[in-house]
Amino acid sequence: MVVVIDEAHEMSEAMLLELRFALNYNIDSASLFPLILVGQPELRKLLRLKKYEATVQRIGMQYHLGGMSKEETSAYIRHHMTVSRTEKPVFAESALGRIFAASQGLPRVVNQICTQILLDAAARNLEVIEEGDVVRVLADMDRQRGVTD
């Protein structure tokens, strides 16, 4: 059995300290239950604090998943369009580049941006999504979040 704790960066101090005891039980160097903590970059920062040192010493492996490259982001978007059997609209190369620049290749952010762009494209009956369309949608997303005036 594998235990996965998602959004681990939201765990309380008491819960993180208790992990030390849960991770302390090993049988012949094999854990009774593999534990996977999944969280935002704040989790790494949190675990660097001195009070969690004993917990961190019991963590067998750490991995930070960075953003996708520009090419991977483009392939990711094209793959989702293929899987959804969406033939139109098509993303122009310049639009894909702008999506990468805005998302830094983070899948969740790519998905959010593309969802808004596709809704906009459907409302405008676009067959090709150009860079200007992406810029317009990104500006609208910023306004909705209160980032710009």
Over 70: is that where the pLDDT of 31 sits?
no
Q: Cα–chain-centroid distance for residue 126?
A: 28
Q: Which has the higher per-residue pLDDT, 100 or 63?
A: 100
pTM: 0.72
pLDDT of residue 59: 80
pLDDT of residue 54: 87
Q: How many CB atoms lie under 10 A from the CB of residue 39? A: 16
Q: Where is 3: in which H helix or E strand?
A: strand 3-5
> In angstroms, rounded to a whole number, what is the distance separating the alpha carbons of residues 57 and 13?
17
Bridge-based pairing of strands 35-37 and 3-5 is parallel
pLDDT of residue 67: 92
Q: Domain-by-domain residue ranges, the chain?
A: 3-57, 70-145
> In angstroms, rounded to a whole number, what is the distance separating the alpha carbons of residues 113 and 125?
18
pLDDT of residue 117: 97
List the beta bridge partners of residue 5: 37
Distance in angstroms between the alpha carbons of the first and the last residue of the chain? 50
pLDDT of residue 104: 95
- The CATH number that domain 70-145 falls under is 1.10.8.60
Q: How many CB atoms lie under 10 A from the CB of residue 133? A: 21
pLDDT of residue 98: 98
pLDDT digits (tens, 9 = 90+) for 88-147: 889 999 999 999 999 999 999 999 999 999 999 999 999 999 999 999 999 999 998 887
